[in-house]
């Protein structure tokens, strides 16, 4: 299966090939449970991510949010003792089925981590293009890609005159936008963000949130956050994860962000979004 094939599968086609999938669903988790060795850390997660939407995953630390998004682009399996039950459907296909190349999945479903991690020895330009180089993906017009993705990440005007400086010289917030640009350069359909602002100052955080809103016109975004206001500001939908003591994490409640924060059905959700625990 080639990358091009992944890119060409648009909504209409996936509707035809897999009529079961909802027309606007890009990514779907069906009854997903996750283990580290013998320890079950996540149980029975069902969630669907509509195309070009922003979904926030909230909940206290250790409830499996980060683990969950790492299963969505097959990064979870790189950890020792990792195991999974259930299905993750990307454009209607199970990403864990035997004939799927994990490299293609990781290109189609990009990821931004908690700590900005540009390659320190590469230039800004080199960092943006590193995904193409590392994965061996061919795209022409590298200059255009650099400008487009840095613009999309809201960093172009700040760095356009110093593209040949090292990526490590930028500030934390700029580095985080640089790695967003890097993730965009391979043209992903989905972008996973694992607490992308937790290491940043408030001004940089606002810039990243602006970037997220702009990106969501073209990319489906799933963001893990501990910042309630951030979830309200950027997310269309929100899912609340919780793990009782010595039990795997579960999704307590999910739905439109306005509902979760304005009118939660579960008492635990109400307590959490009002800052009463976690």
Partner 1 sequence: MADLDVQERRNLSASATAHRGDRIFNRTITTAAFSALFVLAGIAIFLGAQTIPVLQTQGLSFLTTTAWDINTDPPTAGIWGMLYGSVLLAVVALVIAVPASLMMSIFMVFLAPKKLASMLTNLIDLMAAIPSVILGLWAFYVLNPTAEVWQQLLNQYLGWIPIFQNASGNFLGTPFIAGFVLAIMMIPIVTSVTREVLSRTPPDLVNASEALGCSMWTMLRYVALPYGRGGIVGGIMLGLGRALGETIAVFFVLKIVFDTNWYNIIESGGGSVATLIVSRFGEISGPYELQLLLASGFFLFIMTLIVNVLANLIVNRTGRLQK
- Considering only 64, 86, 131, 154, the residue that binds partner 1 (CB under 8 A) is 131
Query: Using CB under 8 A, which of the segments 4-12, 87-95, 128-136, 213-221 binds partner 1?
Result: 128-136
- Chain position carrying tokens 């593209």: 163
189 binds partner 1 (CB under 8 A): no
- What CA–CA distance (Å, rounded) separates 94 from 180? 26
For position 115 contacting partner 1 by CB under 8 A, the verdict is yes
Measured from the CB atom, is 63 or 129 closer to partner 1?
Answer: 129
Tell me how far CA of residue 182 lies from CA of 106, 155, 234, 261, in angstroms.
13, 12, 21, 33
Q: Which stretch binds partner 1 (CB under 8 A): 24-32, 45-53, 105-113, 234-242?
A: 105-113
Over the window 68 to 97, marking each residue x when it contacts partner 1 by CB under 8 A and - when it does not, the resulting string is: -----x-x--x-------------------
Is residue 108 classed exposed, middle or buried when 0-12, 13-18 and 19+ CB atoms within 10 A define those classes? buried
User: What is the footprint of partner 1 within residues 144-183 (CB under 8 A)?
Assistant: 179, 182-183
Of 136 and 275, nearer to partner 1 (C-beta) is 136
Alpha-carbon distance of 109 to 7, in angstroms, equals: 11
CA atoms of 264 and 252, how far apart (whole Å): 10
Give the footprint of partner 1 on this chain (CB under 8 A).
Answer: 73, 75, 78, 103-104, 106-107, 110-111, 113, 115, 117-121, 130-131, 133-137, 179, 182-183, 186
């Amino acid at each position: 299966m080639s990358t091009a094939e992944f890119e060409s599968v648009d909504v209409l086609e996936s509707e035809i090939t897999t009529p079961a999938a909802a027309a606007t669903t890009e990514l779907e988790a069906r009854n997903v449970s996750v283990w580290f060795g013998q320890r079950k850390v996540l149980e029975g997660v069902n969630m669907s991510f509509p195309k070009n939407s922003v979904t926030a995953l909230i909940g206290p630390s250790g409830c499996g949010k980060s683990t969950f998004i790492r299963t969505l682009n097959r990064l979870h399996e790189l950890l020792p003792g990792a195991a999974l039950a259930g299905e993750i459907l990307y454009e209607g296909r199970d990403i864990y089925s035997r004939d799927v190349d994990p490299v293609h999945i990781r290109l189609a479903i990009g990821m931004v981590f908690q700590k900005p991690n540009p390659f320190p020895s590469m230039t800004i330009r080199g960092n943006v293009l590193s995904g193409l180089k590392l994965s061996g993906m061919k795209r022409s017009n590298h200059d255009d890609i650099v400008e487009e993705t840095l613009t999309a990440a809201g960093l172009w005007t700040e760095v356009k005159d110093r593209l040949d400086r090292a990526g490590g010289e930028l500030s934390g917030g700029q580095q985080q936008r640089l790695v967003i640009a890097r993730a965009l350069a391979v043209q992903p359909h989905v972008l996973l963000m694992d607490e992308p602002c937790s290491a940043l100052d408030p001004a940089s955080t606002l810039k990243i949130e602006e970037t997220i809103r702009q990106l969501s016109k073209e990319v489906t975004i799933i963001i893990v956050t501990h910042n309630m206001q951030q979830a309200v500001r950027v997310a269309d939908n929100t899912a609340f994860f919780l793990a009782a003591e010595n039990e795997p994490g579960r999704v307590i409640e999910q739905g439109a962000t306005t509902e979760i924060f304005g009118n939660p059905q579960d008492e635990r959700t109400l307590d959490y979004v009002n800052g009463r625990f976690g």
